Amino acid sequence: MENKHITLGEFIIENQKHFKYSSGELSRLLNSIRLAAKVVNHEVGKAGLVDIIGTVGETNIQGEDQQKLDLFANNVFKTALINREIVCGITSEEEEDFITIQGKTNSHRNKYVVLIDPLDGSSNIDVNVSVGTIFSIYRRSTPMGMPVKKEDFLQKGNEQVAAGYIIYGTSTMLVYTTGHGVNGFTLNPAIGSFYLSHANMRFPENGNTFSINNGNYTHFPQGVKDYLKFCQAEEGNRPYTYRYVGSMVSDFHRNLINGGIYMYPTSSKNPEGKLRLLYECNPMAFLTEQAGGKASDGYIRIMDIKPSTLHQRCPIFCGSRLMVEKAETCMKKYLLEETPTA
């Protein structure tokens, strides 16, 4: 069977074999995310035609302006996961605290918790730039039969069962891993099905694209400045190409396909970093490593960091292995001056 004929649903079922004790819950969970992604994609496609763009005049727990589509996407994913009774808890970038899901019949018997950034890069929606959804799945760490606790969500990234993202762009793609490589599926809008379009996605070992918000240059640590100077120096195969969309999903997706590094370091304005460890850094780190790349905070592996709060922030350098290692070399020259994430 050719890749273009394999649907996401068929692929999920076929790959249940990787989970020795699978009872089908993870497959149903991934299918719920697939369904919610199609609903959000439909609404994103109508932005500008209906009253769904712009802010709602409120801020989220991060202190950021909430976009109308942020709230819409958050509600769609929550509803899809809650109504199907396949998770015991959810936490979202848009929620202050985690949500406990009892279920109508199984009384806290489900295995999985979901952590989600419902609409990454949502401030770009007003200007018709690609946005995305990022998700992460863990097995609960507390005993089944009891309500979930915060500790179920505060697990290291290396405990993830699955992670992925949906990019809503010129075509809509769902890219995910369950720890057995990374595969991408493109939505056929005519029939509403995702088809395997990018099998076994891999980061090139090296790349020539660097993605960072250069407007913060003066606020960056010296190690980051040194790496950017290296990228821009006219020697050998350099200078590299600078590309930055401002939507992590979009920048990451481009670098995954073409090779490159995505960076959101600490700065004097954001001394802990700006991106969320649980909703952005960990899932993207899992995808990066499964695709043969590397992800760190500039000093240590992202997925080895023990979270302490639901909305903890973290710097990130992820992408093609050789590019990340070079950035780490630049950072570590100043190790005593620039304290890494604990």
> Do the annotations mark residue 93 as ligand-binding?
yes
Q: Is 251 annotated as a binding residue?
A: no
Question: In what helix (H) or strand (E) does residue 100 lie, and over which residues does it extend?
Answer: strand 99-100
Q: Flag whether 280 is marked binding.
A: yes
244 among annotated binding-site residues: yes
Secondary structure percentages of the chain, helix, strand, coil, to 5: 35, 25, 40
From the list 92, 89, 91, the residue with the least C-alpha distance to 110 is 89
Confirm whether residue 121 is marked as ligand binding. yes
Measured CA to CA, the distance from residue 66 to residue 55 in angstroms comes to 6
206 is in an annotated binding site: no
Q: List, in sequence order, the alpha helices (H) in 155-271.
A: 222-232, 248-258
- Annotated ligand binding at 273? The verdict is no
- Which residue in 279, 79, 37 sits closest to 173, CA to CA? 37
Classify 246 in phi/psi space as left (phi over 0), alpha (psi -120 to 50) or beta: left
Contact predicate 42/13, CB 8 Å:
no
Contact 158, 283 (CB under 8 A): no
CA–CA dist 125, 203 (Å, integer): 27
CA distances from 337 to 77, 223, 264, 325 (A): 42, 10, 19, 19
> Does the annotation place 145 within a ligand binding site?
no
Assigned token pair, 174: 């769902």
Q: Does the annotation flag 51 for ligand binding?
A: no
Binding-site residue positions for Mg(2+): 93, 117, 119-120, 280
Binding-site residue positions: 93, 117, 119-123, 213, 244, 274, 280
Binding-site residue positions for substrate: 120-123, 213, 244, 274
